[in-house]
């Protein structure tokens, strides 16, 4: 559990992140609600038209995303959420999932997934969708297969769209051999 309180390369517990966490009101669930509101107000999607998504996709830290004020998608929302929640001493996991229909597609370059977070509050884990601003009272993800859980995207070896495609294809081939006949 202590592992999910750690600073990571993509979710650093920098002074600016800690100061931001301390500026958001509340503890426990109330803090999570306030954090989701803060993210919704301060991180915009999609990114500005003059920025190519794949030039920055999975390449920024939480601090950079906050400074830029825009997200490329769910992973950026999760990175910001995770860094701030950990700065408030809430153990938080990065959860990479793949859409179940991805495993049936013949073109595995068309990546389809989502990123959730899981927070340990009041002695149990809760799923959080930072992009949608939703708290789930479980850690089940209908319609998805969990690829991996870790500290952040980089911890899972996903640094950009190309590394994501490679990792997802490898996983899909293993998954299909075990689960799809």
Q: DSSP per residue over 114-155, as a string? A: EEEEEEEETTEEEEEETTTTEEESSS--TTEEEEEEESSTGG
| pLDDT one-digit tens code per residue, 32-49 | 999 999 999 999 998 899
Under a CB-based contact definition with an 8 Å cutoff, are residues 50 and 4 in contact? no
pLDDT in the model for residue 134: 96
Please state whether beta strands 134-136 and 124-129 pair in parallel, antiparallel, or not at all (unpaired).
antiparallel
- Which domains are assigned to the chain? 2-179 (3.10.620.30)
pLDDT value at position 177? 84
Which are the contacts of 100, defined by CB distance < 8 A and separation ≥ 6? 143, 144, 145
The residue written with tokens 């992009």 in the block is 131
The band of 91, judged by pLDDT with boundaries at 50, 70 and 90, is very high
Please tell me the pTM assigned to this model. 0.96
Statement: residue 180 has pLDDT above 80: no
Element containing residue 113 per DSSP (H, E): strand 113-121
Overall average pLDDT of the 11-30 stretch: 97
- In this predicted structure, the answer to whether residue 178 has a pLDDT above a threshold of 90 is no
64 Cβ neighbours under 8 A, 6+ residues apart: none
What's residue 36's pLDDT? 98
Each residue of 108-157: pLDDT tens digit?
888 899 999 999 999 999 999 999 999 999 999 999 999 999 999 999 99
């Amino acid at each position: 559990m202590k592992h999910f309180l750690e600073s990571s390369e993509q979710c650093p517990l920098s002074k600016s992140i800690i100061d931001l966490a301390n500026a958001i009101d509340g503890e426990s669930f109330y803090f999570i609600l306030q954090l989701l509101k803060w993210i919704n107000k301060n991180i915009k999607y999609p990114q500005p038209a003059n920025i190519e998504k794949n030039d920055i996709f999975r390449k920024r830290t939480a601090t950079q995303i906050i400074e830029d004020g825009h997200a490329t998608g769910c992973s950026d929302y999760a990175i910001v959420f995770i860094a701030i929640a950990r700065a408030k001493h809430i153990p938080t996991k990065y959860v990479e999932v793949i859409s179940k229909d991805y495993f049936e597609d013949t073109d595995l370059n068309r990546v389809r997934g989502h990123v959730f977070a899981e927070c340990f509050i009041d002695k149990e884990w809760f799923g959080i969708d930072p992009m949608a601003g939703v708290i789930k009272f479980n850690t089940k993800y209908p319609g998805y297969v969990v690829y991996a859980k870790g500290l952040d995207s980089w911890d899972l070896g996903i640094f950009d769209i190309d590394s994501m495609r490679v990792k997802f294809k490898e996983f899909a081939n293993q998954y299909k051999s075990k689960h799809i006949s």
